[in-house]
Amino acid sequence: MKNSGISGRNTMKNKEIAEIFRLKALRRKELARLPFEKKIEILISLQEMAQGIKSLPGRLWKI
């Protein structure tokens, strides 16, 4: 009884994790379909975030 409870919880957890990864993959495909201009805007945001972490001056695109 106890074991089936634990294995039942593990099955649920695995399903949830599988669903998380499935949604992430879906999200990546959606992002891939964005217009080029929008992707460049996201890139600039990523550069800003990275600079905040790594403190690398002069790497941001100033456009």
Partner 1 sequence: MEKTIKVIREMQESGVIKTYAIGGGIATLYYIEPTLTYDLDIFFIPTEEKLDILSPIYRYLEKKGHRADKEHILIEGVPVQFIPVYNELIKEAVENAIESKYRGVKTRILRAEYLLAIALQTFRSKDRERVIKFLEETKIDKKYFGKILKKHHLHEKFRDFRKKYYEK
Note the residues at the interface with partner 1 (CB under 8 A): 25, 28-29, 31-32, 34, 36-37, 39-40, 42-43, 46-47, 50, 58-59, 61-63
Q: In the complex with partner 1, which residue's Cβ is closer, 11 or 45?
A: 45
CB of 44 to partner 1, least distance (A): 9
CB of 53 to partner 1, least distance (A): 11
HSE of 37, CA atoms in CB hemisphere, 13 A: 0
Spatial distance between the Cα atoms of 38 and 58, rounded to a whole number of angstroms = 22
Residue partners of 33: CB distance under 8 A and separation at least 6:
none
Q: In the complex with partner 1, which residue's Cβ is closer, 2 or 62?
A: 62
Spatial distance between the Cα atoms of 46 and 52, rounded to a whole number of angstroms = 10
